[in-house]
Amino acid sequence: MSNPIKNLAGQTVVYGLGTILPRFLNYFLVPILTRAFLPAEYGINSELYSIISFLNVIFTYGMETTFFNFNSKLENKADVYNTALLSLLSTSLVFSLILIVLSSTIAAGLSTPNATYSSQFIIWCVLIIASDAIMSIPFAKLRSENKALKFSFLKLFNVVVNFGLTVFFISFCKVAYDTQDGSVLAEMYNPEIGIGYCFLANLIANLLTLLLLSKQILSVRFNLNTTLLKEMLKYTWPLIILGLAGMINETLDRIILKQLMPDKVAAQDAQGIYGACYKIAILITIFIQAFRFAAEPFFFGKAKEKDSKNTYAYVMKYFLIFCLFLFLATVLNLDWIKYIIGEAYWSGLKVVPILLLANVCLGVVYNLSIWYKLSGQTKFGAYISITGAVITIVINVLFVPAYSYVACAWATLAAYAGMMVLSYLWGQKYFPIKYNVRALAVYSAITILLYLVSLTYSGLESTWTKIILNNLLIGIFVWMIYKLEINNLKKLSSNVSSNN
């Protein structure tokens, strides 16, 4: 019997090839874009990608998780795949046509005195969303078949093409146009598109990825199993609410920020600054996404085993430890990490620690969510996410007009922390798992304490001195975790060996 934690870690690393590496490539776009465009222009990118994330939930309506659930329970897996894919193909077509017809109205509604949203941008974004939705089921099928390498290759291909085209348009064509060098590259750049080249590059990458998945997509049979579809929709409707509420927590702040601020010019700039600083806090989110791709099929696959709940408890502990390490590694190295974004955006760095803590809470929420997914009580997931959404909306509406994007960051932390507590309490009632709460609390307290220690010498003039001292604190964290966990890891390893 192999070590389940080790197996999950291995799968997370493999899926990381398709999530972490691509995200890092996108990470490298941040310094390019924040130096090529002013905050107001970058705000267009931040807002529209937030809207894309929000609409992705509507276009996919939880069908990915629903596919995993029915695929693990039914013998006729081909029928499950066909039903899920045909459903998404149909609805994506309808949703896309509606939004494309309304594209000019949407663009006019989003535009501000210092930023024009083209209807062309809206159409490109709609096509990005539709192609993402269509690809979600073929990608889910690859995950269910444990074809992690193929999954990762296709994800990596998508982002490499997206990255390469964006760099080409911005770092070569735009630079040639700005310098008026008279080259072919300068003629290829249209300043009216500007930041819109990011959406065009993304769309081209999606279309090429769809082409590589064409065999799986064209295998769909146009004889819909309506009985199965009704059962799948019955399972998935709470996930739609959960997903929408989740997107409210994750992206609504960047969508409504300029709607809540009275000065629309300042709001457009704030939107760009907040969006750029949000990218710095995304390191933990990248790990969570890679973990999620590996964990969802892992959790469902372990559900029937006798010691499954003990495994889930171990996964939670070591997941949190790694997230806390990422928090410290990021926040204690902000003195040099800040150069990822342009200097015009540095005024927003104060929100990075808040957002990092929020993302740690989000990771815990995801781990806790397994209880209602395995027990089929997905309605509780909806209740939890709705609670977070209410917290997000209330704090943003009350405080954004006065405190701008700082209120957005605190709203995100409050929402995820509230969801975490609520999910734990309900989980212990309906699907009790003996998490080592004491250890989780101690490690979290150590992390916060070390961060507070770093603030005591944050006023030092020497940046290098601060960096050295901060990384010593990270070393102390690693040493303390090692001393506290080494015996547990040896015990876990020996227990697995004895079962071989």
**pLDDT, tens only, 62-106:** 898 888 888 877 777 888 899 999 999 999 999 999 999 999 999
Write the DSSP symbol of residue 169: I
For residue 162, what are its two tokens?
């997206």
Q: Over 80: is that where the pLDDT of 490 sits?
A: no
> pLDDT-derived band of residue 493, with 50, 70 and 90 as boundaries?
low
26 — pLDDT class (breaks 50, 70, 90): confident
Structural domain containing residue 100: 4-498
Please state the separation of Cα 348 from the chain's center in Å.
20
The first and second tokens of residue 203, run together, are: 């769309």
First to last CA, the chain: 5
Torsion sign (Cα): 233, 238, 244, 250: negative
Q: What is the mean pLDDT of the chain?
A: 87
The per-residue pLDDT for 299 is 64
Residues paired with residue 38 on neighbouring β-strands, in sequence order:
none
Task: Choose among 210, 252, 248: nearest CA to 88.
Answer: 210
Arithmetic mean of pLDDT, 227-238: 88
Contact in structure between 239 and 66 (CB atoms under 8 Å) = yes
pLDDT band of 40, cuts 50, 70, 90:
very high
Q: What tokens does 274 get?
A: 């907040």
CB 19 within 8 A of CB 301: no
pLDDT band at 392 (very low <50, low <70, confident <90, very high): very high
pLDDT at 16: 57
CA–CA distance, 151 with 11 (Å, rounded to integer) = 12
Helical residues (DSSP H) of 332-404, grouped into ranges: 334-337, 352-368, 370-374, 378-403
Q: What residue has token string 């999910």?
A: 423
| Region class of 404: left (phi > 0), else alpha (psi between -120 and 50), else beta | left
Q: Which residues contact 300 (CB under 8 A, 6 or more apart)?
A: 68, 69, 72, 373, 374
Using CA atoms, how far apart are residues 165 and 202, in angstroms rounded to an integer? 8
Q: Are 370 and 303 in contact (CB under 8 A)?
A: no
Amino acid code (one letter) for 29:
L
Spatial separation of the C-alpha atoms in residues 166 and 32, rounded to whole Å: 10
Query: What pTM was computed for the model?
Result: 0.82
Q: Which residues contact 104 (CB under 8 A, 6 or more apart)?
A: 119, 122
Total domain count for the chain?
A: 1
Quick: pLDDT tens for 130-155.
Answer: 999 999 999 988 888 878 778 888 98
* Residue 497 pLDDT exceeds 70: no
pLDDT class for 197, splitting at 50, 70, 90?
A: very high
Residue 491 pLDDT more than 80? no
Q: How far, rounded to the nearest angstrom, does the alpha carbon of residue 166 sit from its chain's CA centroid?
A: 21
Q: H-type helices in 168-282, by residue range?
A: 175-179, 184-188, 197-212, 214-218, 226-260, 264-280
Compute the distance between CA of residue 23 and CA of residue 40 in angstroms, rounded to an integer. Answer: 23
Tokens of 289: 């996404």
Residue 1 has pLDDT above 50, yes or no: no
CA gap 492, 175 in Å, rounded: 56
Query: How does DSSP assign 419-448, residue by residue?
Result: HHHHHHHHHHHHS-----HHHHHHHHHHHH
**Position with higher pLDDT, 7 vs 133:** 133
The whole-number average pLDDT for the span 263-280 is 92
Averaged pLDDT for residues 284-288: 77
How many C-beta atoms surround the C-beta of residue 458 within 10 A? 11
Give the Å distances, CA to CA, from 246 to 177, 240, 327, 346, 406. Answer: 41, 10, 22, 28, 20
Cα 124 from Cα 193, distance rounded (Å): 12
pLDDT for position 433: 85
| pLDDT score recorded for residue 498 | 45
